[in-house]
Each structure stands twice: as C-alpha cells, then as structure tokens.
Amino acid sequence: MKQFLGDDFLLNSKVAEELYHDFAKQMPIIDYHNHLPPEDIANDRHFTDITAAWLAGDHYKWRAMRAFGVDESYITGDQPSQLKFQKWSEVVPYTIRNPLYHWTHLELRRYFNINDILSPDTADSIYNQTKEAFSDKDKGCQGLLEMMNVELLCTTDDPTDDLRYHQQIAASNLRVKVLPTFRPDKALTFESAKAFKEYLHKLEAIAGQKVSNIEDYLSALESRIDFFHAHGCRLSDVSFGSLPQLLDSQKVDKHFEVLLAGGKLEPIEMESLQAYLLLELCKMYHARGWAQQFHLGVLRNNNERAFRELGPDTGFDSMGDFSHAITLSRFLSRLDNTDQLARTILYNLNPRDNDLFATMAGNYQDGKIRGKIQFGTGWWFLDQKMGMEAQINSLSNMGLLSCFVGMLTDSRSFLSFPRHEYFRRVLCNLIGQDVHNGELPHDAPFLGTIVKDICYHNAKNYFQFE
C-alpha cells in the first residue's frame, strides 16, 4: 500500500516515477490562464490568514460546503475568519474522491510543510501554523509565486483596464513575469441596455474616443488591443455557452444602433452582433500575432435566487449541453477562409465533447505552426484526475499529445499552483503505464523530452511572449 501523497503519488509504475522525478518535476511553470488579481501581485499582498488566501472567492470549496450543509454565513457571509476555516475543516474529510481532498493537502504540504490531515481536530493547529507563516515577509503573493517556480503567468483583464498594476509589476524586481490577457466578454454582452451603456461610457473614456456606430466601437476596442499589446499581451480569451453564429452580417450596424439608442435586441439579433464583433476582434488578434482562447460550454447562474442574493461567480454555474460542432466549424472556417485564423486553444466543459473538440482542432492545422490549433487542457469541472486523463486520451487518439501546451490553473487562488504538479503526475503516469504495458518503448530520454515539452517548452514556444 502506498503512502498518502507520498513521493510517488499518482505514479503507478517505475517508468512513471522516472518520468516525473527526472523530467517533469524540475520544469518551471507557465500559467497562461488564471484569474489572479494583478493588484495583489503588484502590492505583494500578505494574507491575514489561510481563510483569506484559501476560501475567499473559491467557488469549488463553496459548492462543497453548501453540499455538506454549511450555512451561507460561513461561506460568503460575515462570520469570523477562523470559524469559516473551522467549518471548512469539518467538510474536508468528507470530500474524499473529490479533487478538493488532494488539492487541500497538496497545498498544505507544498506551501507550509504541513503533513497533517485537515479535520476539526487539526484545524486550530493548522490555522495558527499557516497564520504565522503568512506573517513572514517572504510569504506575500510574490513569494508564493516564486516558491512554486512560476516563471510567467497571464491574468485575465477587461479591455477597459488601465493595466496600472501590470506596469507596476513590470517595473519591480519580481522574477515572475506577469502579462495581461485581453478578455472582451463584457464588450460582447448586450442583455441589459443599462449595463451596456455603462460599459460603453467606460470604453469611450479609456479609449479617448466617442462611439457613434459599430465602426467606432471596433476602433475603440482595437485601440485597447494595441494598448494591451504594448504592455506585453499576446493572448486573448472569451467564454460562451457556444460560439455565436453570424446569421445576417448586413444588419449588424442596425442592431448596434438599437443598442446605442437604449433599445433591446431579439436573441437572434444579439447573437449575430456578437458573432460579427468577435470575428472582427479575432482578425485583429491574428494581425498582431496573438493566440486566442475559447472557453465553451458553461451554463452560468443557474440558481436565480442565489444570483439575486450573491451575484455571479459564486458557485452556481455548471456544465451545459450545448451543440458545438456546426457553430465552431463555421466560426473557425470564416477566419481560415481569409487566412486570419490565429493560433487557437479550444476548451470544452462537458466531457462528452472531448473527441469533438480534439477532431475539430485537427481541421484547421495549417502545416506552418506546430500545434496551431490546440485542444485545451481539462477546464473547470474537468481539471481533476479523471478529466485530465480523458482529455489527454482524446488528444492522444485524435491529434498529437507531443504538441500539447499543457496545464493552467484557471484559478483565483495564489495557493493553487500545485495543480501543475497534479497534472504532471497524471501525465507521467499515463505515459509510464503505456511503457509498462509494452505499448511504448522504454526510451526515457525521448519520452522525458516529450514530458518536458508538454510541461513547459511547448507553451513557451507557442505563445511567443517577449
């Protein structure tokens, strides 16, 4: 029987152990998609305790706490910090077989050298140990990133962001490179006339230009793209349930005029406008040599009461069962037809779509850029052992695993970087098992090179960060 979280955790063959310990473990981290606040990095925020670092904003943990019957006051409410942590400690033993069980204990070990199992009996001791650790001058946000060997990370930033904190980070002595990602979701959201007007005023102010028509709107967004580019951005991102379809390009200017006048669009009109604007943005990304990410398949804000009371991004989103093949194919084809399809990463949220996304990526490889179209890593509900294995297997069967750009955290937590270790162990175990089964030759130097590429080199070469 193996030791829990021992040196060979998730590694079930000698070859897997060899690949992880000799090749994967040492590689720096490029975390090319996360939701970490640049302000916290720039100001080297020091957390008051582990509750502030661990539970605030973590909807994975919030969902588990609600499922266990914990009152909302201990989750997003105003209960004292240590009591919230105590409640979480009551839940953790019952998260067995959920990735939260592994992540919780990996993070305690990697950041604090705490090997105890978190439970009500150990909660006070762990809370006090971590609180003391956070008082160390080297345990601010910057130190937490450096101790995990993070070389580069990309935050997720709205077009109206002034990037002041990225500028502050760039001027500092931080060894970790922190770059913005252009995320125009709010610029493509038109359900609320009031919200659109408010966003439009912000865009006009930051871009320094008046928007009177759809061409002005695109011009203002392009000026923000250029601003982001000047500050090191080489990556965009957008999230939809499914990609919108351009149903009538001749009327999109009229649709936009309705928005400017404070009117409301029909769903089919809104979709056409979103598709048109997104296609134009994608052409701008291509012209600047950026990569683009599409996160598809989430059904957001399912619980109407919770949305009213707590707002978005509080743990009430789930997998959707959208139909992707035709819309995704048409969207990518429109860009490819004019040779304006940028390097693209496709992420799905429903595992039933793994093979669909893996084969869709293969349709648009152009023989010029290695791994130009990527089937992205297991995202959100799929960034656990089974989800990672399924994504890797689909990619291996339908494409080239060797060209894969690897893992990301997609996290709002500065304590989430052991997820890269988790992924690397899963990766090495799958390849090692193939060798053990006689399905791959035992060529450790070559397989080790593949592993190092997936963990680091492929991403470094793919994104072309300066």
pLDDT in tens, 383-422: 999 999 999 999 999 999 999 999 999 999 999 999 999 9
pLDDT of 248 reads 77
* CB within 8 Å of 301: residues ≥ 6 apart: 307, 312, 316, 317
pLDDT in tens, 159-179: 999 999 999 999 999 999 999
Pairwise CA distance, residues 204 & 216, whole Å: 10
Block residue for tokens 């819309």: 327
Pairwise CA distance, residues 231 & 166, whole Å: 8
Pairwise CA distance, residues 12 & 117, whole Å: 23
Percent of the chain with pLDDT over 70: 100
Neighbouring CB atoms inside 10 A of 425's CB total 23
Pairwise CA distance, residues 201 & 273, whole Å: 19
Closest-CA residue to 358 (of 391, 319, 322): 391
Q: Which residue stretches of 148-189 are H helix?
A: 164-170
Report whether pLDDT(249) > 80.
Answer: no
pLDDT of 466 reads 74
pLDDT band at 250 (very low <50, low <70, confident <90, very high): confident
Work out the angle at residue 113's Cα, subtended by the Cα atoms of residues 108 and 114, and round it to the nearest 5 degrees.
55
H/E stretch holding 300: none
pLDDT band at 130 (very low <50, low <70, confident <90, very high): very high
Pairwise CA distance, residues 390 & 41, whole Å: 34
pLDDT of 54 reads 95
Block residue for tokens 């750009």: 405
| 8 Å CB contact between 363 and 329 | yes
Report whether pLDDT(133) > 80.
Answer: yes
Average pLDDT, the chain: 97
Neighbouring CB atoms inside 10 A of 227's CB total 18
Closest-CA residue to 356 (of 404, 324, 397, 321): 324
pLDDT in tens, 369-380: 999 999 999 999
Report whether pLDDT(57) > 90.
Answer: no
Burial class (CB in 10 A: 0-12, 13-18, 19+), 180: buried
Amino acid at 139: K
Pairwise CA distance, residues 93 & 207, whole Å: 51
pLDDT band at 219 (very low <50, low <70, confident <90, very high): very high
- DSSP annotation of 157 reads B
